Chain A
Amino acid sequence: MDGAGPRLIGRGDLLAALDRAVARKVTVISAPAGSGKTSLLRVWAGRPGRRHRLAVVGVQRDQHDAQQFWLALLSAVREASAPSGRAEPPAATPDFNGQAMVDRVLSELADARDGTTLVIDDLHELTSPDALAQLTRLLTNLPGGVHAVLATRRDLSLRLHQLRLAGELAEIRAADLRFSERETRELLDASGVALSDAGAALLHQRTEGWAAGLRLAAISLAGHPDPERFVAEFSGSDRTVAEYLIAEMLERQPDEVKDLLLRTSLLDRVNGELADLLTGRLGSERILLALEDANAFVVSLDPERTWFRYHHLFADLLRLELRRALPEEVPGLHRRAAEWFVQHGQVVDAIRHTQAAGDWRGAARLLADYSFSLTLDGQTQTIQALLRAFPPGVDHAELAVVHATVDLFQGRLDEAAAHLAVAETYAETPPPDRQRRLRVAIASLKLSLARRRGHFAGVLEQAKFLASPVTGPSDEDIALGSDLRVVALMNLGIVEAWSLGLPDAERHLREGAVLARRIGRPYLEVACLAQLGFASKIRPFATTRRRCNEAIALADRHGWGAEPIVAPALVTLAANLVWTGEFDEGERWLQRTERALQTDTGPGIRLLVRLASGMLQAGRGRRREALEEFSAAEHLRSQLEGSHALASQVTGWMLATQARVGLPGEARAYLAALDDERAGSGEVGNARAVISLAEGNPAAALAAVADVLDGTAPVIGYVTVVETHLLAGLAHRELGDQRAANQAAESALGLAEPDRLVLPFVMTGSAELLAALLHHETAHAALLADILDVVHGSSLAAKDQSSSPPAQELSPTELRVLRYLPTNLSRPEIASELSVSVNTVNTHVRNIYTKLQARDRSAAVQRARELRLLSAGLTR
């Protein structure tokens, strides 16, 4: 390459057209391969004096996974708006929430003070329908001052008709991109090609102004001894333009350049080291740099110019030529590339090349080894595409493990079980060194499956492999083992905490969190910490709160604050606040939990939410509403396959509340049908006492709680015993034994003091019992005063309240409308986006203004930003 290749030329008219187009919200550049879309964008983006910030993303070839696309987009947006990022780098999650991600990108775009232009190239490579639907939502909701430019080979099914109707959609198509005769001349001049006007006109006519054709021709023409003859011969040929010109161009390259282009064409991206490896020569990087400088269809991918890719059309033609010219070398090249990619941790590339080399067994092993980690990276669609490429009958055990992994993460539990059975059947077939790894993978997956299904009995058995330390010949082996280990620890901890109530849960979850942090898996760290928050419920409340807050803070930093993963910490914190009488604050966390659970989630966590809501209602003296919540929780409990750590609490409170609202008969009937385990629990014992009190039989009430007071009945925690003392006190009072009543109340206060429990006093209706105590000595006067405040209808102020006065809480629908306010959609447009009437939107907007104390839309948006209400991840 002599450096005199074609230059990117200015193409002033086209740039002006693009400038005009970009004044609209969305510009689509839709034209076939080689039309010059990317070049146009590069020249346009590189012009000096641009006012807009640019966030540029090129979609990877065959992008199956929505999450990979969105993470790249989010990174680009962040880099454009705040190069010295304050937040954590975006990390992948195994259960990707597209809706939340779009909200996150929108809020980052809205936060950037100056306008941003989003440029997405090669959008046709995005094969995930989910990602396209999410992109539509992003494009139709772009905040003011933000524009998007999309480049694609073909029209995509993005539903942008609303933008089109609003005149906010501009299109640039193949005909606009075609070079004019004058531009052809300019390109030739810039490339140092001396060609007559007639020759230039002929070239323009033969290529029909097709950008790739002209650029290819210019490369061959630069330094050609007889440019006129070249054009005449080209013009006289019936061959297709690209094929003819690529053959001509390769013909004129030095052998080492030609060899490099052919041999590296089978890579999606190449660097000097890889090219040296495939060509067996040194100095490839120099050639790649020279090719890019000559603009010969080679583009660097990073500012340091270490990675390059070829223009797709160019690469496709080179690849065909490679297969024709050096067919016997192709498998070996793929194998060498695969080895390099494995060594550099680029697993998906490695597997693709191993497959392309025809080494199906090797590819199956790689995929089996890495499928778990890839799933954690959110690449299940990619795994499925890789699976489809295997011919039938390859390595049953290894691929069955991969299928099981994908099924499990996508919630197809029966299929996962079937694939695991296949994997076990064939587990003896691989060589011994593979067998151990395969068994660990199978055990870990069975553990996940058992946890998801609520078949807890098998969990401890499957978890045995955790006892042996992770070892392996390489760091990579250890890292892979660690992924399995963290998830196993998490599953084990969850089962121990939720079902068996074992103290080991805390240890396992903490170990899992520590290991997750060490191997750089923030999502798993958040998951373990959030579960640890729940598992800490028997700890001092301060410890539980600290752990919950830690989990929530980490989730917020990663933008997962509104994801189901953090819900256990959110609901535990809410319940904790309700226990101590901080009802308003508790209610806010409960609302945030509801938002986090909008997507998936099983009955276990829903049960907790209903339980905490019931506590809140009961704390506020709304017994009927509390009964509804407890009954809902009890219904969810009955749907669980396994046991639930709080089952007796749910049943006990439902029965007690039934009795309190005047339905002791129903409670009795339900009680009679209980299994022995729950019937014998302290929580149900308390309920029996409440029922007896409601029936006017205080002696029976005392008898009901005797087991709890002498410590023989199992209880979930000391909080149950506080309640027991109070119920005993109420019974003594009914029986006229004021001294015993006072003693019982004082015992309850003494137990409640360290955590400053308030709820049991309110729930049991112990106001008068406590009032009597006022005239006597009590060691707990301050707590007593707090409790009486709550009994008389106030919510205790949260101790760790934030400094800014909280705005009146917006309803979820108001929040949805609020998110549209920073866009320039009109109210009727917002209404149609949300499929509601304009009147409804007007009402919501009015309420939003009142609640945020804003006079107009921009003031509301500003206030909402201050309160961080616009980012779904930070709302509370």
Chain B
Amino acid sequence: MRVHLPALDHGLMDPAPALYAIRIHGHLGATVLSAFPALAPQHHGVDTVLTGLLDRSALYGVLAEVEALGLDLLEVRQLTPQRKSPESDDSRSP
């Protein structure tokens, strides 16, 4: 039995949630959209872009749902890239 909700348990090591845009081919109707309650849909031409704040496990929950519903996934993009570790760290690496 599958529960149509993004996974609830956040791993301890999970980084902070980030804003993601997930582009799917075709216009999603109300039925399929109800599988993604945490995401806001928007039509872009013949595609649908789902946008929302997701942590890593929620993101994979959404992707699993996309797979289960046989949707045509075109793109997954993070809109607010997370800050990298301080510069000094990079400069020390070989």
Contacts and interface: CB of A to CB of B under 8 A. Distances in A.
Whether A and B are associated in the same complex: the answer reads: yes
Interface of A: 32-34, 61-62, 153-154, 210, 212, 237-244, 246-247, 266-268, 312-313, 316-317, 319-321, 323-324, 352-353, 356, 388
B23 to A, nearest CB: 13
Contacts of A323: 4, 34
Nearest to A389: B3
Contacts of A321: 31
A243 B68 contact: no
Given A153-B67, A240-B72, A312-B68, A319 B4 contact: yes
B57 to A, nearest CB: 12
Contacts of A317: 31-32, 69
A320 B32 contact: yes
A242 B27 CA distance: 11
Interface string B64-79: 0001111110000000
A229 B30 CA distance: 24
Nearest to B48: A240
A240 B28 contact: yes
B16 interface: no
B26 A320 contact: no
A239 B27 contact: yes
Contact of A238 (B1, B3, B9, B26): B26
B35 A320 contact: yes
A33 B67 contact: yes
Contacts of A320: 4, 31-32, 34-35
Contacts of A153: 67
B70 to A, nearest CB: 4
Given A212-B70, A313-B70, A316-B35, 18 more contacts: A61-B1, A62-B1, A153-B67, A238-B43, A239-B26, A239-B28, A240-B25, A240-B26, A240-B27, A240-B28, A240-B71, A242-B70, A243-B31, A268-B1, A316-B69, A317-B32, A320-B4, A324-B30
Interface in B1-57: 1-4, 9, 24-32, 34-35, 43, 46
12 contacts: A33-B68, A238-B26, A239-B26, A240-B29, A242-B32, A242-B70, A242-B71, A244-B29, A247-B31, A266-B1, A320-B35, A353-B1
A33 B4 CA distance: 16
Contacts of B31: 243, 246-247, 317, 320-321, 324
A850 B18 CA distance: 67
Nearest to A325: B31
B44 to A, nearest CB: 11
For B1, B30, B72, the residue with the greatest tally of chain A CB atoms inside 10 Å of its CB is B1
Nearest to B24: A240
Contact of A32 (B1, B26, B28, B67): B67
Nearest to B25: A240
A388 B9 contact: yes
Given A238-B46, A240-B26, A317-B31, A33 B2 contact: no
Nearest to A267: B1
A313 B30 contact: no
Contacts of B30: 324
A670 B78 CA distance: 71
Contacts of A32: 67, 70
A62 B30 CA distance: 26
A742 to B, nearest CB: 78
Contacts of B26: 238-241
Nearest to B28: A240
A32 B24 CA distance: 15
A239 B47 CA distance: 9
Contacts of A388: 9
Contact of B1 (A34, A237, A246, A356): A356
For A32, A154, A237, the residue with the greatest tally of chain B CB atoms inside 10 Å of its CB is A32
A61 B2 contact: yes
Q: Which 6 A-B pairs have the closest CB atoms?
A: A240-B26, A33-B70, A238-B27, A34-B70, A243-B29, A313-B70
A262 to B, nearest CB: 11
A153 B46 CA distance: 25
Nearest to B26: A240
A238 to B, nearest CB: 4
A316 B28 contact: no
Contacts of B28: 239-240, 243
A35 B35 CA distance: 21
B92 to A, nearest CB: 34
A242 B3 contact: no
Contacts of B1: 61-62, 266-268, 352-353, 356
Contacts of B27: 237-240
A319 to B, nearest CB: 7
A408 to B, nearest CB: 23
A120 B17 CA distance: 38
Nearest to A349: B1
Contact of A33 (B9, B24, B35, B69): B69
Contacts of B4: 316, 319-320, 323
Contact of A313 (B3, B68, B72): B68
A33 B34 CA distance: 19
Nearest to B3: A356
Contacts of A238: 26-27, 43, 46
Contacts of A316: 2, 4, 35, 68-69
B41 to A, nearest CB: 12
A237 B27 CA distance: 9
A238 B43 CA distance: 10
A356 B46 CA distance: 35
Contacts of A353: 1
A813 B47 CA distance: 60
B72 to A, nearest CB: 7
Contacts of B69: 33, 242, 313, 316-317
Contact of B29 (A34, A212, A239, A268): A239
A650 B93 CA distance: 59
Contacts of A33: 67-70
A33 B72 CA distance: 11
A243 B29 CA distance: 7
Given A238-B26, A244-B29, A316-B2, A324 B71 contact: no
A246 B32 CA distance: 11
A631 B3 CA distance: 58
B5 to A, nearest CB: 11
Contacts of A243: 28-29, 31-32
Contacts of B24: 240
A320 B33 CA distance: 9
A716 B47 CA distance: 82
Contacts of B34: 320, 323-324
Contacts of A237: 27
Contacts of A266: 1
Nearest to A153: B67
Contacts of B43: 238
Contacts of B46: 238
Contacts of B29: 239-240, 243-244, 247
Nearest to A324: B34
A154 B73 CA distance: 14
For A212, A237, A268, A316, the residue with the greatest tally of chain B CB atoms inside 10 Å of its CB is A316
Contacts of A352: 1
Nearest to A34: B70
B43 to A, nearest CB: 8
